[in-house]
Amino acid sequence: MTDQATMETIARLVPQGARVLDLGCGDGALLAHLQATRGCTGYGIEIADANVLACVRRGVDVIQLNLEAGLAMFDDASFDVVLQIDTLQHLRNAETMLRETARVGRTGIVAFPNFAHWPNRLSVLRGRMPVTRRLPYQWYDTPNIRVGTFKDFEALARKNGLQILDAFGLQAGLEIRALPNVRASTALFRFQRGNGAAA
């Protein structure tokens, strides 16, 4: 999902000079973009050997780690921003990692495919799981072990005592703020740990 328009949108949400942790950073393109355009520092977390190598080639500091093991190696609020871009839907411990994102970062930014986007709804009404540009896999070979919607994340954030600072959809590189649960293929949230957040 890290096309240029998406990277630009995410970059606008990250403060200049921020210390960033990118969970499931892939080939490091987003973190490299943040370093080049926003003067950010920080680390990527990635498990795949080829992606770790790609990060190193880009000059991105990367730690090879399985996110299912958690983030115990990092102290509370040790980063200004923690990113989970197209990561949450791949994790078995998605709720735990959401809380960890809020613990380790002063703010968190999460983006994931919005299953409630209207073409997906139409596909399900026709009796088939959706196959779209944003969800390009058949149901039997998808790497996504979770499907969620814009509204689902709002409920999960409330359950975990997270304060949503900004929320909108992304569709074809554009921000969708009106009816994003229906009109956007990607849900994007910026949040922080609320006063009553569970430890």
The model carries a pTM of: 0.92
pLDDT tens digits, the chain, 199 residues: what are they?
568 888 899 999 999 999 999 999 999 999 999 999 999 999 999 999 999 999 999 999 999 999 988 899 999 999 999 999 999 898 988 999 999 999 999 999 999 999 999 999 999 899 998 888 888 888 888 888 888 999 999 999 999 999 999 999 999 889 999 999 999 999 999 999 987 544 4
Q: How far apart are CA 135 and CA 144, in angstroms?
A: 9
127 within some domain: no
132 within some domain: no
* Domains: count for the chain: 1
Question: Any idea what the CATH number is for the domain that residue 175 is in?
Answer: 3.40.50.150
76 within some domain: yes
**Domain hosting residue 34, numbered range:** 4-114+145-191
